[in-house]
Amino acid sequence: MKSRIALIALTLCASAACAQTTVTKAPFGKTPDGAPVDAYTLKDKTLTVKIITWGAHIIEIDAPDRNGKDADVVLGYKSMDAPNAGYIADNGKTYMGSVVGRYGNRIAGGKFTIDGKAYQVNVNETKVGNTLHGGKVGFDRKNWTAKEIPDGVELTLVSPDGDMGFPGTLTAHVRYTLEGDKLKLAYTATTDKPTVINLTNHSYFNLAGSGTILDEVMQINADRYTPINAASIPLGDLPSVAGTPFDFRKPTPIGARIHDDNEQLKLAKGYDHNFVLNPPHTLTHAAVIVTDPASGRTLTVYTTEPGVQFYTGNFLDGTLTGRSGQPYVQYDGFCLETQHFPDSPNHPKFPSTTLRPGETYHTTTVFQFTAK
């Protein structure tokens, strides 16, 4: 009888259902208003991921190298309130690890029109007059509510009508789930008035665990990209990457052409551009593959989104300090913000970011960590 039970248990554990992720909860300081912030740790046999309710930040991802040695492959801070080394001090300087919204990336002049009605939303890039990542107090500066779900955590935020000037009460959910070597981010949202939405995660990756990311090898499945003006707003055209430093269709070190004599690179002080991902936009078709040659760690990104903003940490200037005690400097991390295109509300030819009552916004991105 005991052997039969053991056989049944072994059979069950061979199924996907047995690949259970453990989820634990612990305090992680307080918001500027004194509300408690919680940290959720997702752990399975391959990865450990830590997420906090403040800004729905990913604060840590421990992934093994080719020899099984773990390293934290995302940039982050040691606490909420440490001076120049905490999430409160960041205050929109880097958005490190957060979910940004209501509209990730930029809106020119903070202006757009829906159904003939003009809206002005909060402008927080004051030097150039743009709205960036939802305005001065975006979703990265809100304390989300959280609940444990199978293999992960679901975070919820209700953004009221008029929040940062955006129309409609928006209810947003982000579900982080861990399955083996894959971290899945599933976003959903609904609204009671027509609005615009573009949610994404702003993690800075460093597959070596520290040092420059310029030696890491990038491949982006994109034939086109969106050039920008001096205010980092798309010009509207979608030229080919062929013959430019933006051609990552074959594996290429990030730093191979970052200092080329190229106007677009000079405007952004490196890469900070949206790449138009080739279809199909599915979770079985790799959008981006990045490998660190020294450790063998490889990040593969799958997404249902039509674009990805590739940013090389150009404005990390040493004023903020990471968990290790070392200041974060230029090119210490790269971002892969899966998204709709920047300033889409003002470019009718771009994929629409309008969400209407009765519709459900839904996008999914998967970060897979392996080692070669």
Which residues does the annotation mark as catalytic? 202, 337
At residue 118, what is the residue type?
A
Q: How far apart are CA 271 and CA 246, in angstroms?
A: 8
CA distances from 277 to 143, 289, 310 (A): 32, 13, 12
Do residues 285 and 54 touch, judged by C-beta distance below 8 A?
Answer: no
CA distances from 168 to 119, 191, 311 (A): 12, 6, 30
Q: How far apart are CA 29 and CA 52, in angstroms?
A: 10
Residues with Cβ < 8 Å from 333, sequence gap 6 or more? 74, 75, 204, 205, 206, 213, 313, 316
**Burial class, 127, CB count within 10 angstroms (exposed 0-12 / middle 13-18 / buried 19+):** exposed
